[in-house]
A and B are shown apart, each in its own frame.
Chain A
Amino acid sequence: MFKQTKVWLVVTVALSLLALGSACSKSESETSTNDASSSSAKVYASKGDEGTVKGVVSFNGAPPAPKKIDTSADPVCAQNNPNLTTEDTVVSDGKLANAFVYVKEGTLADGSKFADTGFPTPSEAVTLDQKGCHYMPHVMGIQTNQTLRVTNSDPTQHNVHPTPKNNPEWNQTQANGAAPIEKKFARAEVLIPVKCNQHPWMKAYVGVLKHPYYAVSGQDGSFTLKNVPPGTYTVAAWKEGGATGSEKTMQVTVAANGTAQADFAFGDATASTKPGLQMMPALEIHFGRH
């Protein structure tokens, strides 16, 4: 009997080890190094003729009602923010807030590729605060190697956990009253989800770009990309929702000292929306000047 049991145990252990070996490692498979912020890139020098890309992000049809978040797992959250709701589709008067709009690719007026152009990194930090057991802002942008300062304004403990694909992942506890956490992302990545594993409803999205041409739509759906070098660009708007969000793109041409209009629409009866952060064919072109 012992011999049979021993054989049985050895077989089960061997089988499990075999299965474990075949289980592919997520961390190993997700080490893409598509770093656009190459140090050898030609740094853009302002010529004083930069333009602007302006637009409005709309939401067609009836937006999904915000979902109530149950914060009772942490009494501090339940007390400080009992009416917390989801922020994935914030719509007022048909205008969508929290859409991340950015220049995805393009060609400058002098013919050089936008992707091959470098831009200086701002010295000031960008702040992501935890207040009322949710992240403020919900969606934000930052340049590669710019400092992200995470603060905790709540009288409870959080942990800050970005889950990037192209940058190193980190997870750090931040007690109430603790010093800000300061981190940098070396590689461009749109967008990095940030979560708090202690409060699983807490989500934020950080768009990391090698350039400064990004914005988040406000409550009126409007956005402005300032000081854009003259050229032709693919501008993308990303909206949170589902597992990966959805993105729309369009081509715009920014004339010297000009303003290009780029309006996006999500929701029903819009042009095709592709899940995930993938490039879409050009949808419409608007031109404008000051």
Chain B
Amino acid sequence: MVTDDNIIRIEHISKIFKTGTGSVTAVDDVSFNVRRGEIFGLLGPNGAGKSTLIRILTTLMKPSSGRAFLDIYEVTKDDEKVRGIIGVCPQNSTLDVELTAYDNLEFYGKLVNVDDSVLDERIWELLRMADLSDRAHSRVSTLSGGMRRKLEIVRAFLHRPLILFLDEPTIGLDPESRREVWQQISILNTEHITIILTTHYMDEAEKLCQRIAFVDHGRLVSLDTPENLKLAMPAGELIELGCDHFDDSLLTVIRTHHQVISVEKKEGIIQISAKNGSNLLPVLIAEFEKSGVAITSISIRSPSLEDVFLYLTGKKLDDMTSDIPVPRPGGNR
């Protein structure tokens, strides 16, 4: 079962929560693998079961059934071993806002068994990485939301874990901070670390993730690279070419191309819907040149992941909540 290139193997994981009136299935028979060194996106609307799945993988919760392996360890049996190889940046901050940035990292470093002789050096390295060296001795309560997030992400990376879990890393951040966090995540990925990212922001997943799993109502809907997911859309990409005048024979030539799905003629514009349109575009331009038609404008629009998700599940990702409440254990007892 152990394969080298799959660092996470999830086998038929289900999680059922008992509620007062009955039970709620938060995760429903999910199986997939995550490859070593990739940034893997877990996408879905709020309440889709992303966080529950993450909680199971990070040993915070036991699955109702199924198994999951992180590297060579099973999450329910070797939970202490698992905790040694993962870094977690949870959705809700767990930084101590009364301590300084440095103290937070030092404290965490001791919890995750970073050797004292290298700890100080490592902390400064991470603070530089997060661009927070000059704020090392500021209390976390004085840092901005983006700074805190970056601090929390590098904290999860303190002990050089094999797998880094980032649960909604940019939720509630302004665009500038989001970009900084993304940059941070990309930098971490160059250190050969596998990153599991949950988000319900399409642009984030598209920008960062090598592969994406769509989750809805606790089920795995689809899993592939962002490009392939988009290819699965029957509508393909939309190419718009502006030109002053042309004859219909050109359109006929275009239509014969096997990638083309449909061609429409509008005033001064030809709209072409095609699979893998970015490959097709140079071919089209060559055709135009051959027939001596001058192109005045070019635009190509991919279907967004949002469109893909909409197509696959029939509902929108953002501003969308499924009816599954996710209980937070450890709260009310």
The finding on whether chains A and B are genuine partners in a shared complex, rather than unrelated, reads no
A interface residues with partner B (beta carbon < 8 Å): none
B interface residues with partner A (beta carbon < 8 Å): none
